[in-house]
Structure 1
């Protein structure tokens, strides 16, 4: 069982599981059907039944290997569904694209929504390049009815497929682009995550596969920190939700991403060292996700529960990544009656309004103003290899870190230093 505090969804779902004896019902019949009306008696269904990533699942779902899928406009089914798919490794090179010179209404350094990200990707030729189709037309998008269809999905407990019938459930398509040879259906996100709910691709795929004769191509576009990541999938058996298969992945940008080792070293040796703040030393190994939390807070202030429920974090990660961004002075925390509320700091706003190259170097400056990170990077440049964990720990012990005392804590926090320094080194692309 998890040790972190229960979310509002955790508490509400525990109440429903007890009231309707859901676990025993699933044990007996293999599934449990629940209505939006039943859910609404404890909490709003839109907050209770939409879990885009496995990490968002309520604890009682996670502990029992359960997922939830919509089957009508007001009904859901809970079972041991194999409902999620992990993104493939993001190791593709970044391809440079550009907006046409006549475009004045799109700013490549200010992409505040999924819709604007899609518009930029189309205007810069990114979508057409990925689809290998120069002539594409924007067609269907928004919310619509699924109609009626049936599919098989793998059951994680029985290890055999089960059948689900969908009858006029609501689906949503962020964008669809039709070319001569195919219809591409896009799901767009701005939050980085390890996996996604296959339903987001599968339900629209099934709807449009039954309506047109040309191939339907399900795609995911993730925009964060100036990079457009596009993943394409297919379903090798159209009637099988679990037959999802990876096709290809590419990364694009419409900004100047050329950063040299000299650029990084100029920041390293110019930045002033800060006194260590009286805040937890970061335990948030993936710096891209620190940036991502700042991007999400650029739109609006969010409570701790809202960060956890809306994005690809569990409660522990919400604490780790918001604390890491606070450590760098990028976000601020205030205490409200309902609990902590996070907002982007003035410094965070300034950095996010910069173009790609200046923004990355500004983030580097934030990191390297802290001695343990700067000294680790200096060691890297001196030797050409990342320092060993023991070397990083020795550097940390000389850096007067706040509340880092035990050997195990030093070791855990050293992985963040390694992760962030690797992020800085990974910016270098002198051949671009």
Structure 2
């Protein structure tokens, strides 16, 4: 969901320019940056990296917006976003960090640029594209040049779009003996991405050099570098992309691998804490709990609106995942200008300064310090499988958790317990 200022500004623009009527008549509306700037800065009004960030008027009418020049944008029912494919079964490969490098701390990566530098100097990118002759050649903001393309739309139509000198940004480009790899990078987890971030750079360089252009997407969070390679099956069609391959990497710190005994040792060292007066977690992805803590560690504090507007969270998810961090004692909140402001506690800050393996085990301890999670985990160990929802609900009721009374609420929260136990067991290295 877009931020409240964007919501109000787009509502006014839609009313002032009768945008919905124009789209109903022609299928699109061309809006200029001058028209947008008359209400609010166009740069802020047109940046939607994820579908969840679209203003309500866009979402309600299945609309998206694409830049076509430096000063013009096209609004239509474009299928502009692509969901990330499942990755639970993707093997994590260990890779060594060069011992002579001192100016980059791989244990403290807080930006996309640092993640890219680390992925390159460790050979992760070279391994993924299977080319040891890579050189950094293109990056930064540049002009798209001129091209046109087809885009499939939510109304079932295919529309042709002409682009001329729109601004694009390439996070990193590496040319090797056989190809040019163009990378979009993010240091947070999302459910989808804006295809334009891969397609416009791809079209800029397609045909300009003789080598194939390889669009790659890099995400870095919680010590994991994940690379995905996409192909456009029809280079003239914006949303013809298909995942070609993906791979995960982690830097080998030389420590013994985590096994079941490691987890059990953490369990035995951890005492049960009293249930906090915080909503019991409804946040199935523990990776996203970690990622939110990473963002707070980097930014020091984020408002509810900043989390919702800048990352792939809707308002409810912001509540759920910040409450999950508060439940574990990692996040706290205050209020500033009437809006919640979230920050890491002393415990959270200390935890996210640890090496990755120590951090993972500290997170395990934070989870298993709560009776409902601990008893459910012990049931898993005894039965060699995650207990079913009915059993977890029984455990939750016996654990006297805060603020849950309705049966259907118990069952929803039970899902979080099973997912977090699976996250713990997923730490065990083969």
TM-score, normalised to structure 2, is: 0.96
- With 134-143 and 266-275 compared, the bigger mean Cα shift is at 266-275
Q: Is the 8 A contact 2:96 2:251 kept in 1?
A: yes
1:295 is matched with: 294
- SS for the counterpart of 1:207 is helix
- SS for the counterpart of 1:193 is coil
Q: Is the 8 A contact 1:108 1:120 kept in 2?
A: yes
| 1:46 to 2:37 alignment | no
**Which digits, 9 at most, give the CA deviation of each residue in 1:187-236, with x for residues without a partner?**
00011111111000000000011321111100000000000000001112
2:230 is matched with: 233
**Which digits, 9 at most, give the CA deviation of each residue in 1:337-369, with x for residues without a partner?**
151111122211211111111111111111111
| Structure 2 CA distance for aligned equivalents of residues 5 and 340 of structure 1 | 17
Q: Structure 2: 5+ residue runs without aligned partners?
A: none
For residues 259-298 of structure 1, the aligned pairs below 5 Å read: 259-298=258-297
Q: CA deviation at 1:37?
A: 2.3
| Structure 2 CA distance for aligned equivalents of residues 10 and 366 of structure 1 | 38
| Structure 2 CA distance for aligned equivalents of residues 278 and 255 of structure 1 | 39
Q: Is the 8 A contact 1:8 1:305 kept in 2?
A: no
For residues 388-403 of structure 1, the aligned pairs below 5 Å read: 388-403=388-403
For residues 67-82 of structure 1, the aligned pairs below 5 Å read: 67-82=64-79
Q: Which of 125, 148, 151 is 1:127 aligned to?
A: 125
1:352 is matched with: 352
2:319 is matched with: 319
1:174 is matched with: 171
**Which digits, 9 at most, give the CA deviation of each residue in 1:104-147, with x for residues without a partner?**
11222111111110111111110000010011000110000111
- SS for the counterpart of 1:106 is coil
Q: Is the 8 A contact 1:109 1:255 kept in 2?
A: no
- SS for the counterpart of 2:239 is helix
For residues 93-112 of structure 1, the aligned pairs below 5 Å read: 93-112=91-110
- SS for the counterpart of 2:419 is helix
| Structure 1 CA distance for aligned equivalents of residues 130 and 221 of structure 2 | 23
TM-score, normalised to structure 1, is: 0.96
| Structure 2 CA distance for aligned equivalents of residues 324 and 381 of structure 1 | 24
| Structure 2 CA distance for aligned equivalents of residues 365 and 22 of structure 1 | 53
| Structure 2 CA distance for aligned equivalents of residues 177 and 171 of structure 1 | 17
Q: Structure 1: 5+ residue runs without aligned partners?
A: none
1:310 is matched with: 310
Pair 1:10–1:378, CA change in 2 (3 A): same
